[in-house]
Structure 1
Amino acid sequence: MKRLLYSIPLMALLAACAAEEPQTLPESNVQSSTVERPVEPVMPESLKGEEVNKLTPAFLSIPKLGIEAPIKQFGLDSKGNMELPQNGKDVAWFEPGFQPGEKGSAVLAGHVDDEKKPAVFFELKKLEPGDQVVLQDGQGKTFTFEVREKVAYEKDDAPLRKIFGPSDKRMLNLITCTGYFDHDIHNYVERLVIYTELIDES
Structure 2
Amino acid sequence: MLLIYNSIGSSADDKPPAPPAASASSPGAAVPRQASPSSSQAPLLSRSVPTRLKIPSIAVDAPFVPLSIGSSGRLDAPPPNDMNLVGWFQGGATPGERGAAIVAGHVDTTTGPAVFLQLQFLRPGATVDITRTDGTVARFEVDTVETFSKAQFPDKRVYADTPDAQLRLITCGGNYDKKAKDYEDNVVAFAHLTSARTE
TM tier, smaller: 0.7 to 0.9
Corresponding pairs, count: 177
Identity of aligned residues (%): 28
Q: Which residue of 1 aligns with 2:34?
A: none
Bigger fraction of residues in strand:
2
Q: Secondary structure in 2 aligned to 1:77? A: coil
Q: Which runs of 5+ in 1 are unaligned?
A: 1-9, 23-30, 46-50
Bigger fraction of residues in helix:
2
Residue number among 63, 72, 78 corresponding to 2:56 in the alignment: 63
The Cα RMSD (Å) is 2.6
Q: Matched residues in 2 for 1:144 and 1:19: separation? A: 35
Instruction: Give the TM-score normalised by structure 2.
Output: 0.79
Instruction: Give the TM-score normalised by structure 1.
Output: 0.78
Q: Counterpart amino acid of 1:75?
A: S
Distance 1:154 1:147, change over 3 A: same
Q: Secondary structure in 1 aligned to 2:166? A: strand
Q: Map 1:1-202 onto structure 2 (within 5 A).
A: 10-12=1-3, 14-16=5-7, 20-21=10-11, 32=14, 41-44=22-25, 52-54=44-46, 55-86=48-79, 87-202=82-197
Post-superposition, which runs of at least 4 consecutive aligned residues in structure 1 deviate over 6 A? Answer: none
- How far did 1:161 drift? 1.9
Distance 1:171 1:34, change over 3 A: closer
Q: Counterpart amino acid of 1:58?
A: T
- How far did 1:191 drift? 0.4
Distance 1:64 1:162, change over 3 A: same
Q: Secondary structure in 1 aligned to 2:66? A: strand
- How far did 1:150 drift? 0.9
Q: Secondary structure in 2 aligned to 1:135? A: strand
